[in-house]
Chain A
Amino acid sequence: MSLPALYLEEIDALSRKISQAQPIDILQFCANHFHGRLEAERNQHLASQSSTSLSSMVNPFAMASDTFPGTFGGFGGGPFDGSRDAIREEEEELHSPTAPTFKPQFSMGGMGGRPGSSGSGRRTHSPSGGGGGGPRRPMHVAGSPFLSPSGGSHLGPPSAGQDFPSNYNRNRRTSVSAESLVPTTSDDEWSPPIHPKTSDQMNRLRAAVSNNFLFAHLDEEQDSQVLHALVEKPIPNKGMRVITQGDVGDYFYVVEKGDFDIYVNSAGRMMPGPDGMGKRVTSIGPGGSFGELALMYNAPRAATVISTSSDNILWALDRVTFRRILMENTFKRRRMYEAFLEEIPLLSSLITSERSKIADALDTETFEAGAIIIREGDPGDRFYFIEQGVAEVHKSSQPGGYVRTLNKGDYFGELALLNDAPRAATIVAKSKVKVAYLGKAGFQRLLGPVADIMRRNDPRLGEGVDPLAGPGGFDGSIDVMQGPFGMGRPVEV
């Protein structure tokens, strides 16, 4: 039995390429070759088809005209009423069950590859590829039960398509996942690795990561732990590969000393052979960084990085350490917030899930020593905890002004949640102070008015007494500060 001529042509072409390139990984080379061939062929096919008629295609989808009950007749007379083959769409022919070169389904280009493979053959679906001038009409007719009150049932601008991004990759998307991490319990304390650095080195590192959004939101403790965890990695020679495109990635790198070139091979991974690294796209020197995606999850490296000088020094940080530092800190802080919240009489009726919601939404702010956190007489709209540092309460009515000192865990301004009375005192940072806060609006969005929360399980309700009404209730102006001061004591301000 003789083989098809087309096949022999392809095999010959492949053989020539193999003898040219002398690849080490034969299978990979062949796969890449045919992948590229298929893509070229499909693109060519697309280009040749874009101007032909879209008629006589079989729509594999049933019309939805029979799917909505009742009032479909309201659309009668419309151009899409009834007759099934009146509905077409621009990409129909690519997927027609009757077309010989494509699989009988909308197979995303019919590559049949694994999801998440580079799948370039699937670009038959790209808006630029499929977006000829054909009628753009989804394969259904909208029925009335889902009619929008805002008007017509159809979306879309008069000339839909013009605003469709041409560079959006429409392939199936693969899920990603980092290693599963569970916070350590208190009796099994985890401490992050510390690799000593000079303060110069610390400053350089801080500058290097400061505009990276994975680091930008870290608090001071996380920031310093992360920087301390970076480990020195000398790259003694020129021409050493630090990361290889397509390989798994576990480390993020900051350049301390030396120069590196970055190469990208359009095949998505480094290939064997002299040009295997692909094109040089940029280079990186001291203060630069690369490989940050590895801090999120294990994804194939997007580029190859190679040293171009000798005596280079890199700082490396692995994903699990990075994520663990962030998690342990966040976890501890969360539990601390929840403990703080439990101390507030005003919020004593919150159930666990409500406290955790509030803890979830707390924001932090840092004040330098001497800064005023809230000012007496100002309108109040947030309540605060002291997370770190020491602050003082001052009142104008008090001789000398000083009232008391606030430490970690103390809170103030919670009456702002209840009413709009002006602040009854001024709070000044004595050291650097970090506060966690939540605004009244945010609190109410999450849990509703505090007044309702206070009312709901107050025993006096049974006696017909509203704890918020009359003497003895919180009216925001009473200075309730009797009893010993200390952790968790309220200051009504």
Chain B
Amino acid sequence: MEIHGLAHAAQLPTPPPDALDDEDMIISEPADVVAVANAEPPPKAVEDCHKVKILGMGTFSEVWLVSPKREQKPETLYALKQLRKADVIRLKQVEHVQNEKSILELCRHHPFITTIFESWQDRSSLYILLEYAPGGEMFGYLRRAQRFDYPVAQFYAAELTLVLVFLHNHGVVYRDLKPENIMIDARGHVKLVDFGFAKVVGDRETYTLCGTPEYLSPEVIQSKGHSKAVDWWALGVLIYEMVLGYPPFYAESPMGIYKKIVDARITFPTWLPPNIRDIVQRLCTKDLSARLGNMKGGGFEVMQHPFFNGIDWRELESQKHKGPLIPQLRFPGDTQYFENYEPQELSADSTYPDSMLAEHDHLFRNF
């Protein structure tokens, strides 16, 4: 088993576009979607961007597909995340937003993390210019397929394991792993997005409850202080959801979900291959001294689990081969893998009056 790639993963640069294996490219794939690097410098203001379409919406942000205004063909596409300052303040997410930007900068060029190109702000919004992954969320593929076959789940879990190992080596806990935050790029590889809950924790524990109900770990729910081990728990939930189509802990109400998580009892259908069952059970272990990924070998131990038998880790991180599911793009800028969103009229809560600016805008000074 190849595990040497791991140390390498910590400083792995994105392979230059010409190093990609052109032979197994599919014809419909526009080359420019992959080769962002050789384009003109990315835009640095919202005025320089042509907003094409909304790709996603959050409680205080929107993500737009944008193309730079002054550019000849082939056009380069980006994802522009726009965060409304007023909502960021109102929802007490200032710290999370700062973390998002600084951690994305730390992770720039990791092959499986969405690359940040620029960030800026104007009077009422913060902007983060990101790499665009045209395949949309893994979530869509999974709900469509209901379940992924073992090799598909294994492939995604392996790429995400490399991401977690990388983040943890840098002292970063991610805290929101779920299919909705995993994008698929043009060659079928994962791109982790939304670092709003990521935080540099080093070896310390942290206390702010955040994540997604079905993916929270028992120590987060019980406010015991949590650390990087929460990501390994979430990986277990993700593997389960990928192979079965629904998460291991679900209920009608959030409190119902939390009760089940705290009990940490998982049921598996009898037909499930034992390697899958075993890795999920080991990752979703309440006892921190027994949770896979949190023990002596750290992430290496996860990589060595028989669930990953057959994975060549070095090849995987070099993205030598394409992923198991490839978005079929009919034209550059085809957004068929994204939901349709109507631009929302800003609510009164989202306006950023002068008084608020005077009081709070210093919080964004370093953005």
Query: Which residues from chain A sit less than 8 Å from chain B, CB to CB?
Result: 60-62, 64, 66-69, 89, 91, 95, 97, 103-108, 110, 112, 114-116, 125, 127, 136, 138-140, 142-143, 145-151, 153-157, 160-161, 163-165, 167-170, 172-183, 213-214, 217, 292-293, 296-297, 299, 302, 323, 326-327, 330-331, 334, 352-353, 356-357, 360-361, 438-439, 441-448
Residues of A within 8 A of B194 (CB): 175
Instruction: Say if the beta carbon of B265 comes within 8 Å of chain A.
Output: no
**Residue from B154, B213, B289, B327 in contact with A173 in the complex, judged by beta carbons closer than 8 Å:** B213
CB distance A146 to B310 under 8 Å?
yes
Residues of B within 8 A of A183 (CB): 207
- 5 more contacts with CB within 8 A, not counting A142-B149, A155-B147, are A91-B144, A115-B57, A150-B309, A164-B245, A177-B208
The 6 closest A-B pairs by CB, nearest first: A146-B151, A442-B289, A353-B203, A138-B145, A177-B210, A62-B328
Q: What's the minimum C-beta distance from A350 to chain B, rounded to whole angstroms?
A: 11
**Complex CA–CA separation, A208 to B188 (angstroms):** 52
Residues of B within 8 A of A146 (CB): 150-152, 154-155, 310-311, 324
CB distance B258 to A213 under 8 Å?
yes
Residues of A within 8 A of B223 (CB): 323, 326-327, 330
CB distance B150 to A154 under 8 Å?
yes
Interface residues on B, range: 35 or more
**Residue from B144, B213, B273, B324 in contact with A143 in the complex, judged by beta carbons closer than 8 Å:** B324
CB distance A164 to B246 under 8 Å?
yes
**Complex CA–CA separation, A296 to B213 (angstroms):** 11
Instruction: Say if the beta carbon of B4 comes within 8 Å of chain A.
Output: no
Question: B340 — nearest CB in chain A belongs to which residue?
Answer: A112
Residues of B within 8 A of A177 (CB): 91, 93, 96, 197, 208-211
Question: A146 — nearest CB in chain B belongs to which residue?
Answer: B151
Residues of B within 8 A of A172 (CB): 139, 180
**Complex CA–CA separation, A136 to B75 (angstroms):** 38
8 Å CB contacts to A: which residues of B137-162?
A: 139-141, 143-155
**Residue from A151, A161, A334, A360 in contact with B273 in the complex, judged by beta carbons closer than 8 Å:** A151
Q: What's the minimum C-beta distance from A19 to chain B, rounded to whole angstroms?
A: 27
Residues of A within 8 A of B272 (CB): 155
CB distance A110 to B275 under 8 Å?
no
**Residue from A66, A148, A302 in contact with B150 in the complex, judged by beta carbons closer than 8 Å:** A148
8 Å CB contacts to A: which residues of B90-140?
A: 91-93, 95-96, 139-140
**Complex CA–CA separation, A56 to B119 (angstroms):** 45
Instruction: Say if the beta carbon of B290 comes within 8 Å of chain A.
Output: yes
Instruction: Say if the beta carbon of B17 comes within 8 Å of chain A.
Output: no
Question: A448 — nearest CB in chain B belongs to which residue?
Answer: B296
Given A112-B339, A143-B151, A327-B223, decide whether A442 and B255 contact each other with a Cβ distance below 8 A.
Answer: no
Residues of A within 8 A of B294 (CB): 357, 446
Binary flags per residue of B337-363, CB closer than 8 Å to A gives 1, else 0: 111111010000000000000000000
Q: What's the minimum C-beta distance from B350 to chain A, rounded to whole angstroms?
A: 13
Residues of B within 8 A of A438 (CB): 289
**Residue from A114, A140, A151 in contact with B57 in the complex, judged by beta carbons closer than 8 Å:** A114
Instruction: Say if the beta carbon of B196 comes within 8 Å of chain A.
Output: yes
Instruction: Say if the beta carbon of B314 comes within 8 Å of chain A.
Output: no
Residues of A within 8 A of B306 (CB): 149-150
CB distance B149 to A138 under 8 Å?
yes
**Complex CA–CA separation, A268 to B132 (angstroms):** 34
Instruction: Say if the beta carbon of B205 comes within 8 Å of chain A.
Output: yes
A-B contact pairs, 28 of them (CB 8 A): A62-B328, A64-B324, A66-B326, A67-B324, A105-B335, A127-B146, A136-B146, A146-B151, A148-B154, A149-B309, A150-B273, A150-B274, A155-B149, A155-B243, A157-B271, A175-B210, A176-B211, A178-B210, A179-B208, A181-B207, A213-B222, A293-B255, A330-B205, A334-B225, A360-B205, A446-B294, A446-B295, A446-B296
**Complex CA–CA separation, A485 to B354 (angstroms):** 64
Binary flags per residue of B174-205, CB closer than 8 Å to A gives 1, else 0: 00101010000000100000101100001111
Residues of B within 8 A of A330 (CB): 205, 207, 223-225
Question: A170 — nearest CB in chain B belongs to which residue?
Answer: B143
CB distance A105 to B339 under 8 Å?
yes
Residues of B within 8 A of A334 (CB): 205, 225
Instruction: Say if the beta carbon of B250 comes within 8 Å of chain A.
Output: yes
Question: B326 — nearest CB in chain A belongs to which residue?
Answer: A62
CB distance A445 to B59 under 8 Å?
no
Instruction: Say if the beta carbon of B15 comes within 8 Å of chain A.
Output: no
**Complex CA–CA separation, A443 to B91 (angstroms):** 40
Residues of A within 8 A of B176 (CB): 175
CB distance A115 to B325 under 8 Å?
no
Q: What's the minimum C-beta distance from B163 to chain A, rounded to whole angstroms?
A: 18
CB distance A297 to B209 under 8 Å?
yes
CB distance B341 to A112 under 8 Å?
yes
Given A175-B196, A181-B207, A334-B225, decide whether A445 and B271 contact each other with a Cβ distance below 8 A.
Answer: no
Instruction: Say if the beta carbon of B212 comes within 8 Å of chain A.
Output: yes
**Complex CA–CA separation, A443 to B287 (angstroms):** 12
CB distance A67 to B326 under 8 Å?
yes
**Complex CA–CA separation, A146 to B154 (angstroms):** 7
Question: B307 — nearest CB in chain A belongs to which residue?
Answer: A148
Q: What's the minimum C-beta distance from B325 to chain A, rounded to whole angstroms?
A: 5
**Residue from B152, B250, B310, B341 in contact with A168 in the complex, judged by beta carbons closer than 8 Å:** B250
Instruction: Say if the beta carbon of B252 comes within 8 Å of chain A.
Output: yes
Residues of A within 8 A of B224 (CB): 217, 326, 330
**Residue from A68, A97, A150, A442 in contact with B336 in the complex, judged by beta carbons closer than 8 Å:** A97
Instruction: Say if the beta carbon of B170 comes within 8 Å of chain A.
Output: no
Instruction: Say if the beta carbon of B69 comes within 8 Å of chain A.
Output: no
**Complex CA–CA separation, A148 to B308 (angstroms):** 8
Question: A66 — nearest CB in chain B belongs to which residue?
Answer: B26
Given A163-B269, A173-B178, decide whether A296 and B341 contact each other with a Cβ distance below 8 A.
Answer: no
CB distance B325 to A64 under 8 Å?
yes
**Complex CA–CA separation, A173 to B241 (angstroms):** 13
8 Å CB contacts to A: which residues of B5-42?
A: 24, 26, 28
Residues of B within 8 A of A161 (CB): 146
Residues of B within 8 A of A106 (CB): 140, 143-144, 337
Question: A115 — nearest CB in chain B belongs to which residue?
Answer: B57
CB distance A445 to B289 under 8 Å?
yes
**Complex CA–CA separation, A446 to B203 (angstroms):** 14
Given A213-B258, A445-B295, decide whether A180 and B96 contact each other with a Cβ distance below 8 A.
Answer: yes
**Complex CA–CA separation, A168 to B248 (angstroms):** 11
CB distance A139 to B208 under 8 Å?
no
Instruction: Say if the beta carbon of B323 comes within 8 Å of chain A.
Output: yes
8 Å CB contacts to A: which residues of B212-267?
A: 212-214, 221-225, 227, 229, 243, 245-246, 250, 252-255, 258-259, 262
Instruction: Say if the beta carbon of B51 comes within 8 Å of chain A.
Output: no
**Residue from B24, B208, B214, B289 in contact with A180 in the complex, judged by beta carbons closer than 8 Å:** B208
8 Å CB contacts to A: which residues of B305-333?
A: 306, 309-312, 321-328
Residues of A within 8 A of B140 (CB): 106, 108
**Complex CA–CA separation, A217 to B259 (angstroms):** 12
**Complex CA–CA separation, A330 to B223 (angstroms):** 9
Residues of B within 8 A of A69 (CB): 24, 321
